[in-house]
Amino acid sequence: MAGAPLDILYRGPLASCNYACPYCPFAKRRDSRETLRRDAEQLARFVDWAGGQTQRSLGILFTPWGEALIRPAYRSAMAALSRMPHVRRVAAQTNLSWPTGWLDGCDPERVAFWCTFHPGETPLDRFLGRCAELDARGISYSVGIVGKREHFDALAALRQRLRPEIYLWVNAYRDEGATYYGPDELALLRAVDPLFDLNRTGIRSRGRACATGESVVSVDGDGEVRRCHVVPARIGNLYDPDFDAALKPRPCPLAQCRCHIGYAHMPHLGFRELFGPGLLERALPHPAATLNAGGATGPAGRARRSSSATQSATPSAAMRSTPS
């Protein structure tokens, strides 16, 4: 392949969801018929564009504001993308609330999911049933939860009932400030997720290398490209024939990076090597081994040493770490 590999974080205008999680700033939002029509049209254009990129390897992660996979357009898009030989991965953040029959039309080797369990919205058994359907198809996925105190029982049950090979991540709950967790709670969360501290504290990122803007980009429904979801500066448009000229190394301009979608692409953390092909869906291949190695020398230890010790109480909407 002639072109350099590119990973795309796609987020169209769709912002509605069938759940109403109290910790989600977009809960209960409704999309108008016009918004859904425009979103589907823009998605179709993106899939067409991807189909023409046969000279490079593409990774795609759908990171919608709401739940995209309750919409047939996104299911068709993922199925079509997964069957394109040059698309090495097509993943989506999702609440896994949908029937799974459409997955039969996907290439199971290349479709993948970043799944979040929301205890107030769906029974654990139903969620685990969907995970079992992914397992039966050999599809890669991760499972996560928002680390609210009220979710700790669900977290324990998930860890007990998910296959040990499935990475169970915890997104730090930030709405109640930096002192929300006590020492015992931190120990509990670290025991489940070897990378929890990194998510809780974020990474001091200003001036550091980050692959976004070079081999990873954030794309909206109009094709407007930004380096990542939280740096607002536009760097070009995906549908511009000369777009590749905009891709170049850029140090991070922000003080802190606080979401896996972003810091996963900071080379000094080594996430590309650690996660391997599961990077986009956040699927750590050997979570137990990572946990055991998380002391002085392992990747989790490296990540911990790289994180700053600061934490702000209220993430911006764009930086929310509780997608779907």
Nearer Cβ to ligand SF4, position 67 or 193? 67
Q: How far is CA 290 from the centre of its chain?
A: 19
Q: Which is nearer to ligand SF4, 27 or 36 (CB)?
A: 27
Instruction: CB nearer to ligand SF4: give 95 or 290.
Output: 95
CB of 71 to ligand SF4, least distance (A): 13
Query: How many contiguous H segments (helices) and E segments (strands) does the chain have?
Result: 10, 13
Phi, psi for 194 (deg, rounded to 5): -65, -15
CB contact set of 152 (below 8 Å; sequence gap of 6+): 185, 188
Provide, rounded to whole angstroms, the least separation between the CB of residue 87 and ligand SF4.
22
For residue 245, give both structure tokens: 């000229």
Closest contact distance (angstroms) between CB of 213 and ligand SF4 is 7
- Nearest residue (CB) to ligand SF4, 80 versus 259: 259
Radius of gyration of the chain (CA): 19
- Minimum distance from CB of 268 to ligand SF4 (Å)? 10
- Nearest CA to 169 out of 271, 55, 24, 284 is that of 284
* Rounded alpha-carbon distances, angstroms, from residue 29 to 13, 18, 57, 67: 12, 9, 35, 11
Q: How far is the CB of 261 from ligand SF4 (least distance, A)?
A: 7
**Which of 214, 222 has the CB closer to ligand SF4?**
214
- Alpha-carbon dihedral sign for residues 15, 19, 25, 29: positive
Nearer to ligand SF4, 80 or 230 (CB): 230
Quote the CA–CA distance of 181 and 199 in Å, as a whole number.
13
The residue type at 152 = F
Q: How far is the CB of 29 from ligand SF4 (least distance, A)?
A: 9
Q: Which is nearer to ligand SF4, 20 or 309 (CB)?
A: 20
Q: How far is the CB of 83 from ligand SF4 (least distance, A)?
A: 27
Alpha helix (H) ranges present in the chain? 33-51, 72-82, 124-137, 152-161, 183-192, 196-201, 260-263, 271-275, 287-292, 299-306
Which residues lie near ligand SF4 (CB under 6 A)?
Answer: 17, 19-21, 24, 26-27, 66-67, 95, 118, 205, 210, 212, 227-228, 230-231, 252, 254, 257, 262-263, 265-266, 322-324
